[in-house]
C-alpha cells in the first residue's frame, strides 16, 4: 500500500487587509512548501482580546502598535525577535516615521515585530465636492457645516472612531477624561452615526460610494483606504489630516503596524521565515504597491527600496505632503478611558441601527 504524502506545515496569520493578499501568500507557500491561512481583522482591541483568551489561535499577528507593546508583550504573548531581524530594523532611519519606529521595541529593548506599513488615518474627501484646504481647516466638524450639505460615510474601525469622535468633541483621548466629557463624547458619537449616509467596516464599499457620489467624504479613513483609489487614477480623492486639534495642538492620528510572532505559535520557524520574507526587496515593494491596499512603508527610507517605487505609487500615497500630515498627527495609543469610550461607542452604533454591526 502506498504511503500517504506527509502533511504540509501550516502557518496561521491574523492581519489587517493586505497581508492576506493571495499573491503575497501563494509565493511564500510555494517556496516553503507550506499552507498559509490568513484571517482579516477590523479591530485591534478585539483581536488582542482574542489572543489573550485563546493564546495559540495564530502564529503571526499583524496589528497596530500599542496592542503589541502595551498589552500582548507584557503578558508574555509575543516572542522577542533578535539577531538578523532586529539588526535590520535598528538600521531604519526614516525622519517622518522616527516616532513610529519606537513602537517596534519593548521598553527593555527587544524587537517585538516588524514595522512596515504606517500613515495618517483620519478622513478622506472627494475634492470635487470639498477642497482639501477646507477639510484641513474645519477638521472632523466639517460635517456640521449645514451650508455645505455634505453626505458622509463612517468606516467602522472602532478604535479610530473613538479617537476621532473625541477630537471632534475637543477632547484629548490620551488624557484621563471626566464624566462630563464622556457624556459629550457620547452625544457627539450619536450625532455622527445618526446623520451618516453610510456606516460600514468594509472600506471598499465606502470607497465605491465615494466614487459614485453617494457620499462626499469618509470619516475614520486614510491613506490605508484612499491610496488604492488614487493608484487607479482617481487623484481627486484625498487623504486629509486636520490642521490642528485638542491633542497638544494636533488633531490627527497616525499608526504603524507590527507583524509579530506569538508565543504560542505552532510553527515558529516558519513564522520567522515569513518575517524574513516580508523584508525581501521585491516583497516590500509589492506590499507597498499592493493595488488594493497601497500604503507607505517605513522601509522606504532605504534607497534600494525607494528606487523600486513608481511615480504612480508616490502620487497615490500623497508623498509630497506625507511628512506634513505625519507632523499633524499623534501616534495611535490606548486611551486611559478606553473601555468606557468603547462601551459607549458600541451602544451608539447599536442604537443607530444603520450599516453593519
Q: What does the chain come to in residues?
A: 357
What DSSP string describes 15-78?
Answer: ESTTTT-HHHHHHHHHHHTEEEEEEE-S-HHHHHHHHHHHSSS-SEEEEEHHIIIIIITTTT-B
Class level of CATH domain 9-118+255-313: alpha beta
The CB density around residue 75, as the number of other CB atoms within 10 Å, is 12
**pLDDT in the model for residue 101:** 80
Report the chain (357 residues): mean pLDDT per 10 consecutive residues.
Answer: 60 96 95 94 94 86 96 95 79 64 89 94 97 96 91 97 98 97 98 96 97 98 97 97 97 96 93 95 95 93 92 97 94 97 96 59
Using the structure block, give the residue that is written with the C-alpha cell 466614487: 211
Tell me the pairing of strands 217-222 and 9-15.
Answer: unpaired
**pLDDT in the model for residue 95:** 60
Contact 174, 161 (CB under 8 A): no
Please give the Cα distance from 126 to 91 (Å, whole number). 38
35-71: buried (b, 16+ CB within 10 Å) or exposed (e) per residue? ebebeebbbbbebbebbeeeeebbbbbbbbbbbbbeb
Packing angle of the helix pair 203-212, 223-231 (nearest 10 deg): 50
Please give the Cα distance from 228 to 115 (Å, whole number). 21
**pLDDT in the model for residue 5:** 46
Half-sphere exposure of residue 334, counting CA atoms within 13 Å on the CB side?
15
The CB density around residue 90, as the number of other CB atoms within 10 Å, is 12
Give the start-to-end residue ranges of the domains of the chain: 9-118+255-313, 119-253+331-352
pTM exceeds cut of 0.85: yes
Strands (E), the chain: 9-15, 34-40, 60-64, 114-126, 152-155, 198-200, 217-222, 237-240, 252-261, 329-331
Grid cell at residue 243: 490642521
**pLDDT in the model for residue 8:** 77
Contact 130, 140 (CB under 8 A): no
Architecture of domain 119-253+331-352: 3-Layer(aba) Sandwich (3.40)
What DSSP string describes 186-216?
Answer: HHHHHHHHHH-SEEES-HHHHHHHHHHTS-S
Amino acid at each position: 500500500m502506498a504511503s500517504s504524502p506527509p502533511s504540509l506545515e501550516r502557518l496561521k496569520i491574523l492581519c489587517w487587509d493586505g497581508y492576506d493578499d493571495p499573491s503575497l501568500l501563494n509565493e511564500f507557500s510555494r517556496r516553503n512548501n507550506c499552507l498559509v491561512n490568513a484571517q482579516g481583522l477590523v479591530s485591534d482591541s478585539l483581536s488582542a482580546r482574542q489572543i489573550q483568551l485563546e493564546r495559540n489561535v495564530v502564529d503571526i499577528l499583524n496589528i497596530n502598535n500599542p496592542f503589541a507593546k502595551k498589552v500582548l508583550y507584557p503578558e508574555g504573548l509575543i516572542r522577542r525577535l533578535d539577531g538578523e531581524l532586529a539588526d535590520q530594523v535598528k538600521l531604519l532611519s526614516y525622519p517622518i516615521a522616527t516616532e513610529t519606529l519606537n513602537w517596534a521595541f519593548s521598553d527593555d529593548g527587544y524587537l517585538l515585530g516588524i514595522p512596515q506599513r504606517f500613515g495618517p488615518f483620519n478622513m478622506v474627501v472627494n475634492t470635487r465636492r470639498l477642497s482639501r484646504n477646507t477639510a484641513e481647516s474645519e477638521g472632523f466638524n466639517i460635517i456640521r457645516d449645514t451650508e455645505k450639505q455634505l453626505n458622509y460615510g463612517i468606516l467602522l474601525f472602532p478604535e479610530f472612531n473613538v479617537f476621532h469622535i473625541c477630537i471632534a468633541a475637543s477632547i484629548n483621548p490620551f488624557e484621563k477624561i471626566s464624566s462630563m466629557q464622556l457624556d459629550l463624547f457620547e452625544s457627539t458619537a450619536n450625532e455622527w452615526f445618526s446623520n451618516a449616509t453610510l456606516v460600514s467596516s468594509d472600506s471598499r464599499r465606502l470607497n465605491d460610494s465615494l466614487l459614485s457620489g453617494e457620499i462626499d467624504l469618509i470619516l475614520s479613513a486614510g491613506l490605508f483606504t484612499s491610496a488604492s483609489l488614487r493608484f487607479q487614477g482617481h487623484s481627486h480623492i484625498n487623504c486629509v489630516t486636520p490642521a490642528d486639534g485638542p491633542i497638544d495642538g494636533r488633531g490627527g492620528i497616525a499608526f504603524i503596524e507590527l507583524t509579530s510572532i506569538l508565543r504560542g505559535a505552532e510553527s515558529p520557524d516558519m513564522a520567522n521565515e515569513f518575517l524574513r520574507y516580508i523584508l525581501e526587496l521585491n516583497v516590500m515593494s509589492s506590499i507597498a504597491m499592493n493595488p488594493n491596499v497601497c500604503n507607505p512603508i517605513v522601509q522606504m527610507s532605504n534607497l534600494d527600496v525607494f528606487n523600486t517605487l513608481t511615480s504612480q505609487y508616490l502620487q497615490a500615497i500623497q508623498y509630497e505632503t506625507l511628512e506634513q500630515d505625519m507632523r499633524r498627527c499623534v501616534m495611535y495609543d490606548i486611551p486611559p478611558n478606553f473601555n468606557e469610550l468603547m462601551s459607549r461607542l458600541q451602544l451608539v452604533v447599536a442604537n443607530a441601527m444603520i450599516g453593519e454591526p
